[in-house]
Structure 1
Amino acid sequence: MNLASYINDLLYRYDCVIVPNFGGFITNKVSAKINENTNSIYPPSKKISFNKHLNVNDGLLVNYVATSENISYDKATKDILNCVNSWKIELQTNTITIGALGSLSLNESKQYIFEPNTKVNYLTDSFGLSEVESTKVDRYKEKVKPLVAVVNKKEKTGIPTFIKYVATAAILLTLGFAGNNMYQQNEQKEILANQEKALEEKIQSATFVISNPLPTIELNVVKEVEKPYHVIAGAFQFPENAKKKVNQLKKKGFKASILGVNKWGLTEVAFESFSDKNKATNALYKIQDTVSKDAWLLIKK
């Protein structure tokens, strides 16, 4: 089974593909860009990254493999785990190439180092678009000449005297009207201020008497106990799968619930939530022994 090809197919349609017990491949949209050094134009694309913490089976990859291979869900799960185990063994000594996705290796601290294949564009909106190289365009920059004001000395000194007097009189008349308007506006503001002050004094001195007061009602509000400890059953990309998982767990007697969406966009489902850490830990060990070994404890405070 070529597991890498199935992951590759799903990344064209989904933003996250989780490989159970291995990690998740995530795509992030990158806008079109221009390389000014080479005058190359790149279309919008999807950049791939890898996160080893996204390793809880959400059913997407397993269902796709089962449908493509025409096998059962359990058989697809086993085949994927066998492929993952072979990847892990090879990673201890070599760098592995995962199809067209890129290469994966371990550094000295045993941390995963993923190098994506930049030649493959998983953004379907950019299908058929490739890198374009353009010639450099040198734009003509016109020099702007500074404006120089030329004053005619004859016109400057040749203004008749009576025109100067008329202009001066017009300015004084305008100032007179402006001063009168300002005086009227100040007077109106003072009247309004006195009226507002009188109204405030009446309101402050007024008393209100209620002859028939309503009876007092006492409400006993029960404070909800915080439950920050959650035994996680799984994280799902599709909310419908999360709801199905909750219904399955409730039928088995668990107080299952949906906690919400985490920072990777996955909907988390809990077997049960607890206010006491010891009770949560005991429940986790019991669930791992009897129901699911993949269960883990999430603390939200």
Structure 2
Amino acid sequence: MSDDSRTESKRRKLPQLVLRALIDGGKTIDEEVSSQNLRNIPVGAHDQIQHQSKSIWHSKPEIDAYVREKLDISDAEWNTSDSNRPSFWFTYVAQEISKLRKDGTITDWNPELRTGIWRLTHLKGIESSEPIVQINNSDIDSSNSNSKRFFIALGPWSNWEHTLNNPPFRWGVNPSSASNVGVFNALRHGDIVYYYANQDNPRQFSKRGLFGVGKVTRIYDEEHERYWPDEKLKDEVIYKHRFEIESLKLVKTDSELLPWIDGLPFTKGLNRVANEETLKQLIDNTEKIWNI
């Protein structure tokens, strides 16, 4: 195998490794400052200071060290550079961290000052700093709390049809990228998920639109069951991260579809609707067209 091929093979493992480094271990802010010899670290954001004594924080040097160890990257390989980048691998890791910051998987100690210290956004016992939209639609939010996140679940009709015919109704996320895992980790019981079938054949609908909506009732990982048709075909678990849904509305004809809204996310098998204007329009359409 050529050097370029070996490097590319290692790079493909990088998203999962960076996420694993953030899951494994962690330090308090004082420990990070001491271990990395950080000086004059800025005060944390007002909603992060309360967590400074928790062993959940990570820094770039420790992520770099973790990646180097797991991928067995030599000093010479790590320090390979060009006129634009002092180290290719240093940049590769930084790019993965930027993706995690952008999709909300990690939260900065102080996002305004970029201290180079972060934690996973969604951790047990820690309230996320993400804005949560307040809704009043009693049928969409039938629990006592109105604080819900909203998602679009996307995939081929063959997989949707299979879960319709083989309850409990469920969906899954492929752990192929840190971004996918980050969205799945944001999912909570009671969150709202809309259903979208892509254009892969066989198709149930001739136009774009949402064909259902439901409430998350169970979240789990599955290591063994080959459930969906493509998993059975390949004889492997593809969608390890799974969740079950209690459907509130389900339609099967074009005329009943909830119209697609420009701005809704559709790049992954599970996408969080974060834009407040788009979400408001989605909720309004749901109430107006589906009466829920």
TM-score normalised by the chain length of structure 2: 0.20
Bigger Rg, which one: 1
Q: Which has the higher contact order (CA 8 A, sep 6+)?
A: 2
TM-score normalised by the chain length of structure 1: 0.20
